[in-house]
Amino acid sequence: MEDYLNYWLKKTVKETPNDMELGDKIRKMVCNDREDKWLVEQYNRNRSPENWIKSKEEIPNYIFERNPDTGEIKKRKIKY
């Protein structure tokens, strides 16, 4: 893994001579991975282990909402 990171970092530095753009690329890679892990941890938090997911793509893209006035339940698509 360390060899891959060194390769990836050297390749990215070589392809991106502008330091500002380089920092932006690295931040996006690091933060995106961290954000995905956090989202998966939150999804799994109150579920039994057999219902856990491993990646963000496994999370359903809908939620159920109840209208407090009528009690009606609707299914609504969400975006991540």
Strand partners, 75: 64
The three-point CA angle 22-24-27 to 5° equals 110
Looking at the predicted structure, is the pLDDT value of residue 7 above 70?
yes
Domain ranges of the chain: 18-77
Q: Does pTM top 0.75 for this prediction?
A: no
Task: Show Cβ contacts of residue 62 under 8 Å, excluding neighbours closer than 6 positions.
Answer: 75, 76, 77, 78
Task: Show Cβ contacts of residue 65 under 8 Å, excluding neighbours closer than 6 positions.
Answer: 73, 74, 76
- C-alpha span between 19 and 35 (Å, rounded): 24
8 or 16, which is more confident:
16
Looking at the predicted structure, is the pLDDT value of residue 1 above 60?
no
Which pLDDT value is given to residue 72? 95
pLDDT in tens, 12-69: 888 888 888 888 888 777 766 777 888 889 889 989 999 999 988 888 888 899 999 9
